[in-house]
């Protein structure tokens, strides 16, 4: 039976196409806030990093009420590194709003999220956003969306629904229209279309209970909270449930508290009926894919498969000579405890201690996915160090070695296309498609994840900053062999002192610097990059020899080029195997794993002898 007073919809889009802003306007249109209430923009991006980076990291559930119908809205991440969230939460929805920028049209990660929506069988309504943007072409963007859906194998029914249901909107200005030239200045056409045409949940509240956990929240007070859609029956506070795990094992557990979503918050309730989304407290150790069902007449649901991580990084306690100066938490035990706590509520990451207890290996979906965790730790006062990201290589069913392969897309001015193709060729990439426009060339490549690391800067350099570069995980493919890494050597400090302008002035002739005068440096720390291969140990504290003769140029100061600074992601992509990134609440430093130059020479000699043997 159809639950007519309920709708479950997801909002999917490429990064920065306006999902979270659209949710803001839907909340305002349905009077979620008081008239005098001060509300920040992108209210759902509550995490500090989400607001600073301008991306959604965690999928979030809210509900709005319009004309007596409750609409559960799921705001999903657009970045492929957080695709683990998208895959699961789409199962809670019956339909999806596909947001596309009217100027940019469908982008690489539009393809990524749309594929999941099509595979889940959702009805898809197209929303062409930012139609007021200069240079916007709403009709072209709409036609490109339909072409993309056909490309991804959408059914005839899904295509017909999308052709008949399109909205032209400007989320930032708070209007949605049936046609770009309409004069409508509110969101009601979109809300009306959701009510009239999006399918209501098809469920039976009187059947045996079946609910599946698709996302896990965590509270320090009540532990794990399982969130999912009730597929059939009714769940009551105080019920005893049969919990069926993904591996087929079972346990019974009581429902201690039950919540439903109400605008931006959760409301405790006594029961939740089929079709609605619930949060359940009391299922100890609950995990993604757990089925909550009636012990007397259990119901089977398909298990949920989460795409495996593709990259791993080892977290270690900092061994820097400057340890403890900027952070409050520096111990290996505290770092391990904090990472194991993260394992409780971040199910898309795999977190395990190394066998020799020297560190904790954290595996995730990409550099951004892992760096968000590092940024969270440094804001909490941790000091730690991490090694180079390692691609997770495995054996397939035929015993062949396979590695993760990414799909990369570059759009750049025509004159730089050749240089971009050369950069990808040197990194193990294969061009799969090339389309030339009037001024812009669209290039598509498949490339091993190993080759992607550090590629963004090279693409920006050869396109003079005009290239647009996106990539996302495609599949596991045959191992591509050795891929060249960083070509240039490093300048490595020989002493633990502050950098001096005179020394840096002579060093900048040999390459680019990472430090400025007065920066605290230590033996083994990278202070710059050479213009040629091979590492070079340098004295960053060398001063000018003073004689008793006054020079006519003595008062002319040294002219230094501003140092190259690294974001966390850039530092992780820059380092090679014998280097580490030291992370503190205030600073990101790059250092050698072995700080002493003699120790590094001995290690290199041992490695050479073992290779000969």
The Cα–Cα gap between 108 and 130 comes to 18
Please list the alpha-helical segments (H only) found in 239-366: 332-345
Tell me whether residue 143 is annotated as binding. no
Tell me whether residue 498 is annotated as binding. no
Beta-carbon contacts of 27 under 8 Å, excluding residues fewer than 6 positions away, are 33, 43, 62, 64, 263, 264
Q: Which residues pair with 66 in a beta bridge?
A: 69
Tell me whether residue 18 is annotated as binding. yes
The Cα–Cα gap between 338 and 44 comes to 26
Contact 531, 581 (CB under 8 A): no
Tell me whether residue 346 is annotated as binding. no
**b/e 575-608 (16+ beta carbons within 10 angstroms → b):** beebbbbbbbeebbbbbbbebeeeebeeeeeeee
Tell me whether residue 17 is annotated as binding. yes
Q: Is 502 helix (H, G, I), strand (E, B) or coil?
A: helix
The Cα–Cα gap between 13 and 26 comes to 16
The Cα–Cα gap between 221 and 117 comes to 35
The Cα–Cα gap between 232 and 599 comes to 65
Alpha-carbon distances, residue 163 vs 8, 66, 193, 210 (angstroms)? 21, 25, 13, 34
Token pair recorded at residue 528: 């710059």
Q: Is 211 helix (H, G, I), strand (E, B) or coil?
A: strand
The Cα–Cα gap between 98 and 203 comes to 25
Tell me whether residue 405 is annotated as binding. no
Q: In the chain, what are the helix, strand and coil shares in percent, each to the nearest 5? A: 25, 30, 40
DSSP state of 199: P
Tell me whether residue 433 is annotated as binding. no
Tell me whether residue 447 is annotated as binding. no
Tell me whether residue 132 is annotated as binding. yes
Token pair recorded at residue 302: 């398909």
In 171-293, beta strands by DSSP E: 175-177, 210-219, 223-232, 234-236, 240-244, 250-254, 257-262, 265-268, 271-273, 277-281, 291-293
Give one DSSP letter per residue of 75-136, joined into a string: E---SGGGHHHHHHHGGG-SEEEEEEETTT-S-HHHHHHHHHHHHHT-EEEEEEE-TTSTT-
Tell me whether residue 544 is annotated as binding. no
- The closest alpha carbon to 315, from 380, 372, 389, 365, belongs to 389
The Cα–Cα gap between 118 and 98 comes to 11
Annotated binding site for GTP: 16-21, 129-132
Annotated binding site: 16-21, 129-132
């Amino acid at each position: 039976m159809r639950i007519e007073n309920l709708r479950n919809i997801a909002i999917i889009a490429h990064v920065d196409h306006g999902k979270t802003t659209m949710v803001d306007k839907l909340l305002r249109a349905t009077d979620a806030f008081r008239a005098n209430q001060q509300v920040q923009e992108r209210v759902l991006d509550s995490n500090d990093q989400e607001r600073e980076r301008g991306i959604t990291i965690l999928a979030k559930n809210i509900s709005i009420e319009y004309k007596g119908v409750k609409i559960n809205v799921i705001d999903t991440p657009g970045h492929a590194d957080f695709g683990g969230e998208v895959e699961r939460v789409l199962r809670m929805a019956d339909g999806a709003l596909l947001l596309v920028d009217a100027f940019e049209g469908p982008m690489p990660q539009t393809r990524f999220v749309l594929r999941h929506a099509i595979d889940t069988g959702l009805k898809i309504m197209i929303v062409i956003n930012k139609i007021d943007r200069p240079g916007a072409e709403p009709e072209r963007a709409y036609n490109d969306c339909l072409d993309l859906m056909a490309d991804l194998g959408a059914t005839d029914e899904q295509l017909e629904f999308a052709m008949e249901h399109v909205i032209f909107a400007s989320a930032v200005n708070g209007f949605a229209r049936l046609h770009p030239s309409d004069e409508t200045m509110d969101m009601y056409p979109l809300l009306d279309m959701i009510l009239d045409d999006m399918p209501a949940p098809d469920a039976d509240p009187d059947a045996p209970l079946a609910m599946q956990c698709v996302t896990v929240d965590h509270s320090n007070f009540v532990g794990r909270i399982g969130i999912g859609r009730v597929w059939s029956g009714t769940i009551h506070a105080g019920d005893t449930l049969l919990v069926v795990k993904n591996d087929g094992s079972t346990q019974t557990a009581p429902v201690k508290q039950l919540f439903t979503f109400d605008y931006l918050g959760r409301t405790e309730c006594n029961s939740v009926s089929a079709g609605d989304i619930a949060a359940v407290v009391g299922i100890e150790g609950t995990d993604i894919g757990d089925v909550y069902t009636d012990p007397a007449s259990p119901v089977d649901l398909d298990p949920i498969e989460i795409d495996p991580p593709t990259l791993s990084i080892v977290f270690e306690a900092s061994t820097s000579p400057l340890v403890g100066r900027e952070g409050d938490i520096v111990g290996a035990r505290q770092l391990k405890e904090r990472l194991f706590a993260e394992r409780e509520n971040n199910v898309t990451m795999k977190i395990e201690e190394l066998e020799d207890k020297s560190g904790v290996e954290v595996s995730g979906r990409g550099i951004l996915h892992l760096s968000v965790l590092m940024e969270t730790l440094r804001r909490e006062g941790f000091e730690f160090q991490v090694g180079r990201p390692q691609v997770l290589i495995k054996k397939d069913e035929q015993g062949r070695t396979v590695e993760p392969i990414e799909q990369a897309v570059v759009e750049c001015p025509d004159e730089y296309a050749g240089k971009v193709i050369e950069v990808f060729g040197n990194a193990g990439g294969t061009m799969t498609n090339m389309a030339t426009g009037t001024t812009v060339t669209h290039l598509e490549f498949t490339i091993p994840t190993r080759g992607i690391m550090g590629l963004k800067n090279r693409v920006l350099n050869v396109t003079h900053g005009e290239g647009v570069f996106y990539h996302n995980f495609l599949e596991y493919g045959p191992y591509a062999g050795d891929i060249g890494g960083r070509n240039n050597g490093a300048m490595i400090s020989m002493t633990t002192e502050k950098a001096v302008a005179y020394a840096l002035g002579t060093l900048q002739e040999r390459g680019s610097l990472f430090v400025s005068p007065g920066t605290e440096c230590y033996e083994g720390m990278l202070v710059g990059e050479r213009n040629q291969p091979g590492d070079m140990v340098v004295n960053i504290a060398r001063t000018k020899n003073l004689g008793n003769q006054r020079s006519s140029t003595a008062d002319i100061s040294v002219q230094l080029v501003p140092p190259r600074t690294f974001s966390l992601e850039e530092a992780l992509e820059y380092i090679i195997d014998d280097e580490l990134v030291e992370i503190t609440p205030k600073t990101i430093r790059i250092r050698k794993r072995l700080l002493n130059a003699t120790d590094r020479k001995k290690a290199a000699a041992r490695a050479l002898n073992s290779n000969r043997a």
